[in-house]
């Protein structure tokens, strides 16, 4: 089953509006909606959707130390200019790498778009 990017964007924007979401969780979110799609298709769809949501200003990426996920001030924004190589790096999609996790969350614009479409 082919995962349409727009559908993946909708699923991941919803997740981003709930809380900070790890990149690794994006694939799991798509797994719930597309259980028959291959793992490769889910990673491709997740990466494409994250890139589109970033470029539209609907989400932002953050880096967090996994031992400090309960402290909101420990979420460090990642510059858009750094996001491309981060998303292409497979370890960014791990639940943890060297004590850090890459997460995404909705921006104010992303919240408005999401709430307007709900």
Low-confidence ranges of the chain (pLDDT < 70): 1, 68-72, 117-118
Query: How much is the pLDDT for 74?
Result: 82
Closest CA to 100 of 118, 76, 72, 73: 76
Backbone angles phi, psi at 103, to 5 degrees: -130, 165
Per-residue pLDDT, 45? 96
Total domains in the chain come to: 1
Whether pTM > 0.75 for this model: the answer is: yes
- Nearest in space to 26 (alpha carbons), one of 39, 42, 38: 42
pLDDT value at residue 115: 92
DSSP per residue, 33-71? H-TTS-HHHHHHHHHHHHHHHHHTTSEEEEEEEGGGTT-
Q: Any idea what DSSP says for residue 22? A: E
Domain with residue 48: its CATH number is 1.10.10.10
Q: Could you tell me the strand order of the sheet in which 76-77 lies?
A: 21-22, 100-106, 59-65, 76-77
Which pLDDT score, from 0 to 100, does residue 118 have?
47
| Whether 92 contacts 86, CB under 8 Å | yes
Q: Which domain holds residue 105?
A: 5-117
Q: Tell me what pLDDT residue 2 has.
A: 86
């Amino acid at each position: 089953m082919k995962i349409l990017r727009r559908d993946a964007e909708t699923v991941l924007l919803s997740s981003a509006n709930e809380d900070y979401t790890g990149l690794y969780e994006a694939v799991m979110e798509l797994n719930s909606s597309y259980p028959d799609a291959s793992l490769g298709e889910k990673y491709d769809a997740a990466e494409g959707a994250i890139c589109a949501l970033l470029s539209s200003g609907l989400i932002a990426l953050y880096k967090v130390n996994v031992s400090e996920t309960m402290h909101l001030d420990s979420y460090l924004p990642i510059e858009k200019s750094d996001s491309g190589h981060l998303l292409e790096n497979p370890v960014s999609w791990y639940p943890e790498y060297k004590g850090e996790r890459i997460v995404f969350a909705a921006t104010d614009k992303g919240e408005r778009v999401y709430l307007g479409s709900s």
